[in-house]
Amino acid sequence: MKKLFMIFALVLLVCGATLGAMKWFGLGPFEQPEMAKTEEGPPEIKAPDALFIDMAPVMINVMQSGSIVTTIQLELKIETAGRDNIIKIKRMLLIYRDAFVKDLHSFVPRMLSELDRLDLPTLKQRMQLVADKVAGETGIVRGVLIQSILDTPQ
C-alpha cells in the first residue's frame, strides 16, 4: 500500500509541475488569446495604384509628296493615380488628344523616314512628354499606354 501511495504522490507531483510550467509559459489552456484591435471609424479603403482613362482613337495621316502614304490609328489610355487626377484629366481630355495629334503629325513622319518603322518605346516616351507639357506638371499623368496600332497603307 505504501508503494501505491508513493506512485500516486509521484504522479501528482509530475502533473503539478507540468501544469505549473504550462501556466508560466502560457501554453495549452493557459494561452492568452490575442485581443482584436479596435479601430475608431470605418476601415480605410485603399485606392488602386494605377487608374486608366480611355481616349478616343488618334488618327494620323502620313503625307509624302503631296499624297497620303499611310494612315496610323492609335488606341490610347492615360495612366494616373488618385481620383483627383482622374477628374483633372477627364476635364482636359480633348486638349490631351489635340496635343497628341499635333505632335504626332510632325513626329511620326520623321520617325518613319529615319527608322522605316514605329518604335513604340520612343513613341510612348514622346507622348509622355506631351502629356506632362499639357498638364503643366509631372506626376498627374504617370504614363501613356498604347493599346493598339493600326497601320493602313494607301
Tell me the CA distances in angstroms from 29 to 26, 33, 80, one per residue in order: 8, 10, 53
Can you give the pLDDT at residue 107?
Answer: 92
Number of Cβ within 10 Å of residue 86's Cβ equals 16
Grid coordinates standing for 7?
A: 506512485
Q: Phi/psi of residue 145, each to 5°?
A: -95, 125
DSSP 8-state code for residue 80: E
Band of the pLDDT at 127, cuts 50, 70, 90? Answer: very high
Instruction: Supply the DSSP symbol for 29.
Output: G
Q: Percentage of residues in the chain with pLDDT exceeding 90? A: 32
Q: Could you tell me the residue ranges of all domains in the chain?
A: 1-32, 51-153
CATH of domain 51-153: 3.30.479
The grid cell for 34 is 490575442
Quote the distance between the C-alpha of residue 14 and its chain's center. 60
The predicted model gives 95-105 an average pLDDT of 93
Alpha carbon 46 to its chain's center:
12
Cβ burial 101-130 (10 Å sphere, 16+ → b, else e): eebbeebbbebbeeeeeeeeeebeebbbeb
Q: What is the mean pLDDT of residues 59-77?
A: 89
**What mean pLDDT do residues 78-107 have?**
90
